[in-house]
């Protein structure tokens, strides 16, 4: 069995590579735990079911943008709130999720998502 040494070295290399996500996360100070998000400042409900919101807000925001910019259609009927609200990223979303930093960014940073919206849209908090 003159190959045993090579096999062991091969196995060790394999283990290091296979464990990459773990030691990379540990070295980066992340333990894989989801950060705590700040609670909404207002309301019991999101504008749609909040689990659905978590999965689909990017599409909803894209629709809002297109409807406002192309069709000047600025109002949205929310079933969960039972009211009509403005289709606005800053005035509506950040109206309840008062801290972009402790809500939107905290989740996005954790998932390494970088929306380019803030190149133009301004978080009102940044001026306080």
User: Which residues lie near ligand HEC (CB under 6 A)?
Assistant: 37, 39-40, 42-47, 50, 53-54, 57-58, 60-61, 64-65, 68-69, 81, 87-93, 95-97, 103-104, 107-108, 111, 113, 115-117, 119-121
Nearer to ligand HEC, 4 or 84 (CB): 84
**φ, ψ for residue 80 (rounded to 5)?**
-70, -35
Closer residue to ligand HEC, CB minimum distance, 27 or 112: 112
Half-sphere exposure of 1 (CA within 13 A, CB side): 4
As measured in angstroms, the least distance from the Cβ of 18 to ligand HEC is 26
Cβ closer to ligand HEC: 13 or 58? 58
- Phi, psi for residue 87 in degrees, rounded to 5: -80, 80
Least distance CB 84 / ligand HEC (angstroms):
12
Cβ neighbors of 93 (< 8 A, separation 6 or more) are: 61, 104
CB of 15 to ligand HEC, least distance (A): 31
Rounded to a whole number of angstroms, the minimum distance from the CB of residue 16 to ligand HEC is: 29
Q: Which is nearer to ligand HEC, 11 or 117 (CB)?
A: 117
Q: Which residues does 122 contact at the CB level (< 8 Å), separation at least 6?
A: 90
Are residues 105 and 115 in contact, defined by beta-carbon separation less than 8 angstroms? no
């Amino acid at each position: 069995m003159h190959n045993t040494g090579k096999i062991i070295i091969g196995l060790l290399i394999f283990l290091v590579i296979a464990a990459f996500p773990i030691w990379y996360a540990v070295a980066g100070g992340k333990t894989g735990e989801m950060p705590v998000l700040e609670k909404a400042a207002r309301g019991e409900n999101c504008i749609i079911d909040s689990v659905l919101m978590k999965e689909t807000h990017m599409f909803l925001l894209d629709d809002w943008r297109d409807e406002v910019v192309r069709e000047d259609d600025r109002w949205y009927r929310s079933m969960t709130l039972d009211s009509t609200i403005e289709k606005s990223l800053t005035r509506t979303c950040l109206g309840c999720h008062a801290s972009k930093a402790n809500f939107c960014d905290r989740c996005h940073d954790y998932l390494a998502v970088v929306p380019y919206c803030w190149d133009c849209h301004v978080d009102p908090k940044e001026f306080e």
